[in-house]
Amino acid sequence: MLSALLVMSAIAAVLGAVLGFAAIKFHTEGNPLVDKIDDVLPQTQCGQCSYPGCKPYATAIAAGEADINRCPPGGEEGIRKLAELLGVEFKPFGEDAVPKAKSLAVIDESTCIGCTLCIQACPVDAIAGAAKQMHTVIASECTGCELCVAPCPVDCISMQVIGEKIANWKWKYPVYAMTATT
């Protein structure tokens, strides 16, 4: 009886020690799922999902608080990727969140008064300028989030759709008539 108890407690102690060691050794900081979701999101940091950025939205999805169809810049492709990652059904965009053509913020430099409000609003530091100096958008860094448009007191920022150019042109999906054979 006593020996059985001792053996069982010894096993429990050893296993406990192993588990305790593993918990320290293989400890992961943060939630890896959040990072995986964040990796799929387009990083526009636009807040159209009603969260203050891509990471907070990823955190909310991971916690089961947010739907996967809240990110218009990610497009349907983004929803598909999230659905695949999370093992849930694809969910189309609601009426309030419809993807728009990818665009770029452009400052009308002759109207700009140099108030720096757009610089403070830009989530990716894509606007260069200083107080009472003309500002300009660094086109290669702009994510098209539109966050700079509203704060501008003189409405000198407009969103311009990125058109098709040789540099970003893509081969199209082949379209042809199929003939039914009888």
Give the annotated binding-site residues: 46, 49, 54, 71, 112, 115, 118, 122, 142, 145, 148, 152
Of 123 and 151, the one with the shorter C-beta distance to another protein is: 123
Q: What residue has token string 């999902």?
A: 49
Between 6 and 100, CB nearer to another protein: 100
Question: Using the 8-state DSSP alphabet, how is residue 157 labeled?
Answer: E
> Which is nearest to 148 in space by CA: 132, 166, 168, 128?
128
Q: Is 129 in the site for another protein (CB under 8 A)?
A: no
Q: Residue 91 to residues 66, 75, 84: CA-CA distances in angstroms?
A: 12, 12, 11
CB of 166 to another protein, least distance (A): 5
- Tell the burial category of 44 from Cβ atoms under 10 Å away from its Cβ (0-12, 13-18, 19+): buried
* Nearest-approach distance from CB 164 to another protein, in angstroms: 7
**Near another protein by CB under 8 A: residue from 45, 48, 59, 69:** 45
Task: Give contact residues for another protein (rule: CB under 8 A).
Answer: 38, 41-45, 53-54, 123-126, 141, 143, 164-174, 176-179, 181
